[in-house]
Each structure stands twice: as structure tokens, then as C-alpha cells.
Amino acid sequence: MPKPFPAEFRRDVVSVARKHEAPISQIANYFGISEATLHDWLENADIEDGC
């Protein structure tokens, strides 16, 4: 099982993705994660933030 990414890293990536300055695929590639992972992180962040 891969080591989970630190919470701070996840928050930073979600913050960048929420700015909508680049496609999700480009952001995921830049940070070395899959698009599916980024989508999951965004969904989880929306739930945690009550969006």
C-alpha cells in the first residue's frame, strides 16, 4: 500500500485546483498524483467544508 500524502500537501493541491487556473489533469500531473485522486480530494474537501 502506498504511503498516504501528508494532509498539508493535500490541502495545498486542493487550494490550487479550486482556483481554476489550470485543468485538473495539468494540476494532477504537476503534483505527481492521478486525476482520480485529485477529484477524490476535491470531493472530500467540499464535504469537510460544507459546500
What's the pLDDT tens digit per position in 6-43?
Answer: 999 999 999 999 999 999 999 999 999 999 999 999 99
In a domain, 2, yes or no: no
User: Is 18 contained in some domain?
Assistant: yes
In a domain, 21, yes or no: yes
How many domains does the chain divide into?
1
Query: Which DSSP symbol is given to 22?
Result: S
Please return the burial class of 32, using the count of CB atoms within 10 Å of its CB with bins 0-12, 13-18 and 19+: exposed
**Does residue 51 have a pLDDT over 80?**
no
**Residue 1 clears pLDDT 70, i.e. is over it:** no
Looking at residue 50, what is its pLDDT? 85
What pLDDT does residue 6 have? 95
Residue 1 lies in a domain: no
Domain of residue 22 covers 7-49
Q: Is residue 23 part of a domain?
A: yes
